[in-house]
Structure 1
Amino acid sequence: MSGSDYRINHQIRAREVRLIVEEPGPKGPVSENIGIVPLSDAMTMAQERGMDLVEVAPDANPPVCKVMDFGKFQYEQKRKEKRAKKNQVKIEVKEIQLKPKTDDYHLGISLKRARKWLEEGKKVKVRLRFRGREITHAYIGRERLEGVKEELSDVSVVEQMPNMEGRDMLMVLAPIADSK
């Protein structure tokens, strides 16, 4: 649940709630379970402390409400989300484009670039583009991609075998995971 999904104060519709009061302690907030109380008593308790009554578990019977500073709670939730997003691993997919008639020199340059990306931990999509009547000789493209696969076999594994997509033949190579 994001910060806007919680019902607070007068938005809570239940007659009775299970009340939890959050008190500041020496090592962070300490939660105390008060028990099941009428909503009006819970609202009064929250107002006396200058805090908000927040419905944290609306599906429970009765709903669980917490007396806390809602602004601070929202801020902490956003910080947690940002931290989780920052720690996610982003896998980048790079692409090299070839043609069935790509000469060996240009193929070597493309393979050197692909090898560098694979060593950096990025995936590489190899796109072999057919033009005009070249598509009738798809076996030439398949042989070309097999050669690329063999050339990069020491730093990669095939994640997606060569297959046709329109006028292109695609193959995806993933870096070999380090066995540490």
Structure 2
Amino acid sequence: MSRPFSSSSNSGHGNFVRVNGKIRAREVRVIGMDGKQIGILPLGEALTLARQHGVDLVEVAPNANPPVCRLIDYGKFRYEQAKKEKEARKHQHANKVKEVQLSPKIDPHDLGVKAQHAIDFLCDEMKVKVALRFRGREMAHTELGFQVVQKFLEKIAPWGHPDFEPKLNGRNIVVMVSPLPRHKRAKHPREAQAPPPPPASAKPSPAPAAASAGPGNGSKPEAASSSPQGSSGTTTSTGASAEGTNPAGGFANNPFSDLDLSRA
């Protein structure tokens, strides 16, 4: 079950792990696949035990006496280690630095845009390096550059604080800004300006209108349904004879309505 790995590729890394045949100790303390301790075994027996279970013997504590080894799939072990390192990096604050460049003649609107970018970085737990560069004869009035930097720091003060006072370094004024703790930091401007969700309407939905007697809604006129019955000599709206018949129960187009029954 030995999986050889070239020592040249891993010798430069501080987290180099010995696996199977690369373990050098004569005796090792073995931890089983269920996490329980098996005991101190000779290296040969430990390797045999790993082969029987179809896993690797991974050295997890090389500085212990004797070294601690674990029965586990080496691929799974590397995945768990990478996952732990990722979680550790996620909880580190201000591990990235973003740079914002200014100029002594920057427009107020552009200064506001640069400040908004810096606020976004600070709210994402990033440090901000503010750099203002002088060009040509602008070096004769460095006080104007310091004024611009101070105005910039005042805009982002609710979200970050400078690590040191702005200082002139060659042709640049440099200052590093760190994010404030979450409980002391102001809310993100975009979150504060976001409109609240519309409240649920308390008005009841309008009831459907009563069916009208017009011809367009599919209902019959009231006068047609309440026509008098048994009246001789009267005709319906379709021209059919109503003698001895009920217009509501007859045919709309009676083919025998024009038939003369007096000759029979």
Shift of 1:132: 3.0
Q: Deviations over 1:115-168 (max 9, x none)?
A: 323443535544333233442443343344344445555555333322112112
Does the 8 Å contact 1:6/1:56 carry over to 2?
A: yes
Q: Name the Cα RMSD after superposition.
A: 3.1
Greater RCO, 1 or 2 (C-alpha within 8 Å, sep 6+): 1
1:17–1:62 Cα contact (<8 Å) kept: yes
Counterpart for residue 26 of structure 1: none
Q: For 2:159 and 2:42, how far apart are their aligned partners in 1?
A: 65
Residue 41 (str. 1) matches residue 9 (str. 2):
no
- Specify the structure having the higher radius of gyration (Cα): 2
Residue 68 of structure 1 corresponds to which residue in structure 2?
72
Q: Offset of 1:98 from its aligned partner?
A: 1.2
The residue matched to 1:120 in structure 2 has which SS?
A: helix
**Contact 1:158–1:171 (8 Å) recurs in 2:** yes
* 2:180 is aligned with 1:169: no
For residues 83-130 of structure 1, the C-alpha deviation after alignment (integer angstroms, 9 at most, x for no partner) is: 44455556552413212xx27xx1x11321133234435355443332
CA distance in 2, matches of 1:114, 1:169: 16
- CA gap 1:81/1:126 in 2 versus in 1, 3 angstroms: closer
SS of 2:132 mapped into structure 1: strand
Q: C-alpha distance in 1, partners of 2:53/2:47?
A: 10
Give the length in aligned residue pairs.
Answer: 167
In structure 2, the partner of 1:25 is none
Match of 1:54 in 2: 58
Cα deviations by residue, 1:55-85 (Å, 9 ceiling, x for unpaired)? 1111111111112222222222233334444
1:176 offset after TM fit, Å? 4.9
Normalised to the residue count of structure 2, the TM-score between the two structures is: 0.52
Q: 1:164 to 1:21 in 2, by over 3 A?
A: same
Runs of at least 5 residues in structure 1 that lack an aligned partner in the other structure: 23-29
Range that drifts further, 149-158 or 30-39: 149-158
Q: What stretches of structure 2 of length at least 5 have no aligned partner? A: 1-12, 185-264
Q: CA 1:125 to 1:85, structure 2 compared with 1: closer, same or farther past 3 Å?
A: closer
Residue 12 of structure 1 is matched in structure 2 by: 23
2:102 corresponds, among 73, 97, 101, to 97
**Structure 2 vs 1, CA of residues 18 and 121 (structure 1 numbering), >3 Å: closer, same or farther?**
same
Question: 2:18, 2:59 within 8 Å by CA — same for their partners in 1?
Answer: yes
The residue aligned with 1:159 is 163
- Work out the percentage of aligned pairs sharing the same amino acid: 39
What's the offset of the Cα at 1:47?
A: 1.4
Q: Partner residue of 1:115?
A: 115
Q: Contact between 2:160 and 2:177, CA under 8 Å: does it hold in 1?
A: yes
Question: Residue 96 of structure 1 contacts residue 110 of structure 1 at CA under 8 Å; is this kept in 2?
Answer: no
Give the deviation of 1:49 after TM superposition.
Answer: 1.4
In proportion to residue count, which structure has more helix? 1
